[in-house]
Amino acid sequence: MVPAIYLIPQVQHRVAAALLVHGYSSTKERLSDSMGKALAMRGMASLSIDLPLHGMRDDALAAEARRNPLELVKHWRTALSEARDAVRWLLDDQRIAPEQVAAIGYSLGGYVALETAAREKRVSAVVLAGSGDLPDSPWIRMMRTMADPMAAVKSLKGRPLLMLHGRVDRTIIPAQAERLFAAANEPKKFIWYDSGHVLPAAAADAAAEWLRSLFPSRAT
């Protein structure tokens, strides 16, 4: 079982929806309370999930697992599998417009959201907040065998991409975000904020407005 928060408008027509994937050391509640509520105010649904070792899944074994590289690889693969299942769960809900499902990821969650969109072609749009390419490292080739944001973003092939980033982000530095954005095909949009890794509340509203422009309401 994957703990989740599902926000969906009580309307008589199908609605757009987004999978929300939080960052490292965060929880489903943080993203649902910000991005999820911004989407809800505009008539869109959201499904926010706890990643492995996070939120309601952070138990006594989590600290040990984080120190074990083999365990981390296993949990990364689990996260990707669960995120894809979550998208399929949204697509199966008859209240959701199947051609209006997005993936939104913050920080580490951006890697998961982007890889999920690369594997699940029915994801119609992607939003990355405080995310980007992998950091420069002697181990980058090995890291790309498990997660390659550059390959994933190229595979979007015309599906819209929005990136939101802080100009003084020291966790995922601006160069990583710029590198990923440059590799993406159009249509794409980049919004900068005068912030660090924690983006201002306005970023959630900007993302929700952007999705609303892509996914017009089906209300008659």
CATH no. for residue 28?
A: 3.40.50.1820
Per-residue pLDDT, averaged over 86-94, amounts to 97
Average pLDDT of the chain is: 90
| CA pair distance 199, 66, nearest whole angstrom | 26
**Global confidence as pTM:** 0.90
| CA pair distance 102, 114, nearest whole angstrom | 10
Total structural domains within the chain? 1
Per-residue pLDDT, averaged over 116-137, amounts to 94
Residue 130 lies in a domain: yes
Per-residue pLDDT, averaged over 150-177, amounts to 97
pLDDT of residue 55: 66
Residue 201 lies in a domain: yes
Query: Does residue 88 have a pLDDT over 90?
Result: yes
Residue 79 lies in a domain: yes
Q: Half-sphere exposure of residue 149, counting CA atoms within 13 Å on the CB side? A: 29
H-helix or E-strand containing 33?
Answer: none
Nearest to 129 by CA among 8, 183, 75, 210: 210
Q: Which residues pair with 129 in a beta bridge?
A: 106, 164
Residue 137 lies in a domain: yes
For residues 110-127, one letter each, b for 16 or more C-beta atoms within 10 angstroms of the residue's C-beta and e for the rest, the string is bbbbbbbbbebeebbbbb
Residue 106 lies in a domain: yes
| CA pair distance 28, 49, nearest whole angstrom | 5
Taking a C-beta distance cutoff of 8 angstroms, is the pair 188, 153 a contact? no
Residue 219 lies in a domain: no
Residue 220 lies in a domain: no
Residue 43 lies in a domain: yes
Query: Does residue 188 have a pLDDT over 50?
Result: yes
pLDDT confidence band for 220 (50 / 70 / 90): very low
Range of the domain at 181: 4-214
Neighbours of 40 (CB within 10 A): 17
Structure tokens at 149: 């944001």
